[in-house]
Amino acid sequence: MNLTFEIQSSIFANYSNNAFYISNKYYTYKDFSQIISNIRSTIKKSAKKTECFVGLITNDDIHTYASIIALWLEGKAYVPLNPEFPLDRNLSVIKQANIVTILDSSSEKTFSSFNSIMTKTLSDSEVDLTPVEISDNDFAYIFFTSGTTGTPKGVPITFGNLSGFIEAQWALNYTITENDRCLQMFELTFDLSVVSYLAPILKGACVYTIPKDEIKYSYIFELMEDHELTYSLMVPSILHYLRPYFDEINCPSMKFSLFCGEALPLDVTEEWSKCIPNATIANVYGPTECTIYCMDYTYKRNSENKTHNGVLTIGKNMLNTSTIIVDDDNNEVETGKEGELCLSGVQLTPGYWKNEKKNKQVFFDKHHNGKNTRFYRTGDLCCADKDGDVLYLGRVDFQAKIQGFRVELSEIEFHVKATLNKMNAVAVAFTNSIHNTEIGLVIESKPINTKELLDNLNEKLPKYMIPTQIKFADSFPLNSNGKTDRNKLTKLFTK
Amino acid sequence: METLTIKETISDVLESILEHNNFEMHDELTAKDVDGWDSLSHMIIITKIEEAFNIKFKLRDLNKLKNMGSLVSVIQNKI
């Protein structure tokens, strides 16, 4: 598959169709192609040929989406930079990816000391969507996720990875056509956004986005009802927010409703299925390292679904991925036994950006199905049943998912300890009263004023990583191994 | 109910959940202006306001709550 050629041909084939609906305004594929071309011609003039990675300020507007396509047509990769993230964090990403040029659709430059291309104010140039030649090994994007040592770690994804994903996505037969209206609810710093704009563009469908100042879950509901959306990918936390209002929701137009990013409970799914009576519901799974998602389970209406602790199975690997479940020594465990889920295949990233130490920890080679195969350890504790369906049991480490975002609890602890001189602190993830995950912080001390601490964390970490509750303990409880008993500390927040 | 009384009740709810009162209850006040009023606490705040006034917001009402003024008028229409 040649991804950029397919983007070009889909745009021309659907020229008069709506491509985007953003903040109450439609943009056709013709409008889209003009903006792509304007940005592209400026990139050609302003960025060096050798510049591989270009920064992208993640605003919610047509220029930001056009910037991605413009970069890809030029064979360059984008690195999303959320302007609401702390400056320190963005600068760390910019430094790691060696970014010189930044595409910015804001009215004023977000970062003053870089070569900013202000994409909103460019004059029209000739429409040119013919892609430059690229190889499967060229990069399409780098997304930075939470890292254990206080520095975000970069996951580069190549055009080969992305093409492999798209091929596997089509093979699921959750069909999108030029008549579909598809939800894009994700921040562009989150890789689930990629399939949410790319799949519709490749089929000439219309992408519906969420303005940044709206409340996500209620806005999604209005889009679903007022615009009769037909296709959606969401994080399960949206369902927890919507659940008290399920009796107000009836969307017969919805054809496919996919979930990813967090555990999907069966009971909520059953209730949700009544709000979207004609839709196929699916639970998809995958880490950023294996390109968006790579496993899939189709929910069965009116018959038994496989679960563990009330959480739906993540099903089987998609077309281009193979999975094994292993013990600590990378040996496959017997069917039904628990172990760590490992992934391989064309969707797998070449490795973390400039982080050989981490690469050695989580990627390994193993003889599998007659050949030497490179695997990635997901950190997810799983077991497979006799049909090959995989059940998610929990994490093997201290990573949590907050509204789908990956959070290393140790990264929060790192910044807390850096602020609180010599005090011990533990960050835990707990489930709140509406079944969403929150972060709690326990400090080993008498109660202290935490304003300075929170101010400091806000300067270092994105909003979703800031603890929502803080408690104090005179001394931390220990478990039988003599380690801090995180389970006991977690219970401080769930009583 | 008087606008002033409604505002006082909302102010009490906010203070009890956010554990501070560093905000002024004018009509243009938005969640962004108030420390700790984010998407996570929003749901809890909405539920507590519903309890305090013994009302239930419709999902559609939630998108109309752009600032304190609109919150007060939506509540006024419900009680």
User: Using a CB-CB distance cutoff of 8 angstroms, which residues of chain B are in contact with residue A438?
Assistant: 40
Give SS3 for A205.
coil
The amino acid occupying position A157 is I
User: Using a CB-CB distance cutoff of 8 angstroms, which residues of chain A are in contact with residue B43?
Assistant: 241, 434
Nearest CB neighbour to B40, from listed A214, A245, A468: A468
pLDDT of residue A341: 97
User: Using a CB-CB distance cutoff of 8 angstroms, which residues of chain A are in contact with residue B42?
Assistant: 215
What six digits make up the tokens of A340?
């760590």
Beta partners for A371? A368
Q: What is the complex's ipTM, to 2 decimals? A: 0.82
Instruction: Scan for tokens 């219970």, then name that residue.
Output: A491
The domain spans of chain B are 3-78
| Distance from C-alpha of A192 to C-alpha of A185, rounded to nearest angstrom | 9
Beta partners for A159? none
The amino acid occupying position B19 is E
A248 touches B at CB < 8 Å: yes
Instruction: Scan for tokens 């060696």, then name that residue.
Output: A98
| Distance from C-alpha of A467 to C-alpha of A350, rounded to nearest angstrom | 33
* Interface touch A248/B43, C-beta < 8 Å: no
Question: Which residues 24-53 in chain B show a CB within 8 A of chain A?
Answer: 32, 38-43
Beta partners for A147? none
* Interface touch A218/B59, C-beta < 8 Å: yes
Interface with chain A: mutation pick from B59, B64, B65, B70, highest number of A CBs within 10 Å: B59
Q: Give A381-427 pLDDT, tens digit per residue.
A: 999 999 999 999 988 888 888 888 889 898 899 899 888 877 889 99
* Largest Cα–Cα separation, chain B: 29
Residue ranges of chain A with pLDDT lower than 50?
none
pLDDT of residue A479: 77
Chain A: closest CA distance from residue B8 (Å): 24
B79 touches A at CB < 8 Å: no
Q: Give B39-58 pLDDT, tens digit per residue.
A: 767 888 888 999 999 999 99
CATH entry, B3-78, from 3.40.50.720, 1.10.1200.10, 3.40.718.10, 3.20.20.140: 1.10.1200.10
Give the residue among A396, A451, A376, A384 at the shortest CA–CA distance from A419: A451
Mean pLDDT of chain B: 88
pLDDT of residue B66: 82
**Cβ(A140)–Cβ(A161) under 8 Å?**
yes
Angle, helices A62-73/A192-203, rounded to nearest 10 degrees: 80
Nearest-by-CA chain B residue for A467:
B36
pLDDT of residue A270: 97
Question: Domains of chain A by range and CATH?
Answer: 3-312 (3.40.50.12780), 399-494 (3.30.300.30)
What six digits make up the tokens of A353?
């950006």
Beta-carbon contacts of residue A477 (< 8 Å; ≥ 6 apart): A484, A485, A488, A489
pLDDT of residue A160: 98
Give the residue among A159, A6, A156 at the shortest CA–CA distance from A75: A159
| Distance from C-alpha of A281 to C-alpha of A299, rounded to nearest angstrom | 5
Give the residue among A412, A478, A480, A470 at the shortest CA–CA distance from A445: A470
Residue B55's alpha-carbon distances to A221, B5, B44, in angstroms, are 21, 16, 15
What are the E-state strand segments in A159-301? 181-184, 206-209, 231-234, 256-259, 280-285, 295-298
Tell which phi-psi region holds residue B70, choosing left (phi > 0), alpha (psi between -120 and 50) or beta.
alpha
Q: Give the gyration radius of chain B's Cα atoms.
A: 11
Q: Give B2-16 pLDDT, tens digit per residue.
A: 888 999 999 999 999
- The DSSP secondary-structure symbol of A322 reads E
Beta-carbon contacts of residue A483 (< 8 Å; ≥ 6 apart): none
Nearest CB neighbour to B63, from listed A222, A403, A436: A222
Nearest-by-CA chain A residue for B31:
A213
pLDDT of residue A79: 98
Nearest CB neighbour to B43, from listed A222, A249, A434: A434
pLDDT of residue B54: 94
Nearest CB neighbour to B58, from listed A213, A216, A248: A248
| Distance from C-alpha of A183 to C-alpha of A168, rounded to nearest angstrom | 20
Give the residue among A469, A405, A435 at the shortest CA–CA distance from A244: A435
Q: How many CB pairs under 8 A join A and B?
A: 32
